[in-house]
A and B are shown apart, each in its own frame.
Chain A
Amino acid sequence: MLIDSNVNLGPWPFSPIPEYTGPQLAAHLAATGIRRALVSDLRAVFLPDPMPANRRLFAAVKRTPALLPVPILNPALRPWREQLDECIKAAPIRAVKICPNYHNYSLGAAHLDEFVAALSAAKLKLVLNVRLEDERHKYFALRIKGVAVADIGAFLQRFRSQHILLSGIYKPDLEKLAPSHANFSADIAFCEWINTLEALLEKIPANRLFLGTCTPLLSTRGQVDKLVRARIPARAKKLIGSENARRFFGL
């Protein structure tokens, strides 16, 4: 059984990805062995207020227990605290995702102190989205880069008592951060090289890597095969494929 920590619902304006309903998404994931998934709604990336997308997400996954909603919040918006409360009341959430590059704020912003403290008080995990796309292939007018590795490093240093999940980080950036920061884990959606996991495990232990497919922006089967067909110990596969997510999200 696999747990996928990086899955999305909703349309993407720049490519014709499949727009699944909750049950359709669960069935699509199950076809590759994914039995549970942490899901966000892509509309929240672009809407000025992410809450309509989060409400849509909660409704979409309500009767699909395999899909666990991860709302996307924008801590730069004044009412983030009320929005967080609404999310907590609306669904049994385990984590909140932030997308600083899409929501136009710096990871160094002062308001993140309160935001991270509020998540911690509510016993929620923080997922930091680093990217959703390869920057080289973005729509020409969308001038958004992935979150800079130096900014992530400074953020991890600032919130040393938090363990943060990095979503969509590139392999070289992950390898750069791993030796100096112990308080993060990362999904492997945007990590790829020949023998990706064998190479990654030389730099970062298996208990800090999560299966993440970035479905439906990336091919689910291709991403799952990166793990399933990797030549790494079975124990490491199990950690990356499910156990780390189970522990981190308290599933």
Chain B
Amino acid sequence: MRIIDVHTHPIFFRKGATPKEVAALVAQSRALGIRHMVSLGDVLVHGTHPTAAQVTAMNDMNAKLQAWHPDFFSSFCFLNPVLGERAVMKEVERCVTRYGFKGIKLEISNNARDACMKPVMAAARRFGLVVLQHSWSMVNLKLRRFHSDPIDTAQLARRHPDVKIIMAHLTGIGFRGVLEAKGCDNLFVDTSGGYPEEGLVEYAAEQLGADHVLYGSDLPIRENSVTIGRILGARISAADKRLMLHDNTARLLNLN
């Protein structure tokens, strides 16, 4: 089965950044059936609130991965929305026009419901980019000021129905997160985040439709063999597995 991984951090706290390490990762991933990876960057290497220069450096690192293996890596433009409209627009324009980045990655600089998201969504709209928003249930983690609960990400998607949004971390958002995402056609959920809890993949397919669930690993925090095996072992049809593992992301990012 051909696989596209929509949620990876091939360089993580600066580890894995050499050409040799990246080539090994590509070869290893291909052996597992992964034909393409979306690199979201080394998102926490400068903490939760990187400066504009640090954001640029992180995106340049992503661009380097793409240049080394253009057929294997696509990248999303990492942003710190708190830096404001000018910085956001400038960085998105640079990453799209210079490198052909396919989406925007948002981590934990702010909550998805904050006003600073407006220019981010305007940039996504202007350049036709998908937005991948870090999301995690804040029921047990009291960090909602800058982490987005699935309620917040779903609200973002409802406020901007013309922008395609990926709510990250199926395992982190849990069953409640799936219900929050339900009924929002521009909102997709990726399967990354946490140990491979049983039943969630099936539940997401049932509630959202398999066409709204995207395979993501969160590599290197997780292991591809586990995250792929979780979908291959799920009690869903082979056609739904194919959608999740490949076709949905291929369509969303025009990777065919």
Question: Hey, which bits of chain A sit against chain B, CB under 8 A?
Answer: 15-18, 32, 134-138, 140, 190, 192-196, 215-226, 228-231
Contacts and interface: CB of A to CB of B under 8 A. Distances in A.
Given A195-B223, A219-B196, A136 B229 contact: no
A218 B32 contact: no
**Most chain A CB within a 10 A radius of its CB, from B172, B224, B229, B230:** B229
A18 B172 contact: no
Given A192-B226, A194-B221, 12 more contacts: A15-B175, A18-B199, A32-B233, A137-B171, A137-B174, A138-B140, A192-B195, A194-B222, A194-B223, A220-B233, A225-B232, A228-B225
B220 interface: yes
The A contact surface, by secondary structure, is loop
B28 interface: yes
Contact of B233 (A193, A196, A222, A230): A222
A221 B230 contact: yes
Interface string B175-215: 10000000000000000001111110101000000000000
B221 A225 contact: no
B32 A229 contact: yes
Interface string B115-149: 00000000000000000000011011100000000
B103 to A, nearest CB: 22
For this complex, into which size category does the number of interface residues on chain B fall? 20 to 34
A212 to B, nearest CB: 12
Contacts of B174: 137
A147 B93 CA distance: 49
B228 interface: yes
Contact of B172 (A136, A190, A222): A136
A18 B201 CA distance: 13
Contact of B229 (A16, A140, A225): A225
A16 to B, nearest CB: 5
A195 to B, nearest CB: 7
Contacts of A230: 225
Contact of A226 (B220, B221, B226, B233): B226
Interface string B228-239: 111011100000
**Most chain B CB within a 10 A radius of its CB, from A134, A196, A220, A222:** A222
**Most chain A CB within a 10 A radius of its CB, from B175, B199, B221, B222:** B199
**Most chain A CB within a 10 A radius of its CB, from B139, B219, B225:** B225
B109 interface: no
B107 to A, nearest CB: 17
B233 A137 contact: no
B198 A17 contact: yes
A224 B225 CA distance: 9
Contact of A221 (B32, B172, B233): B233
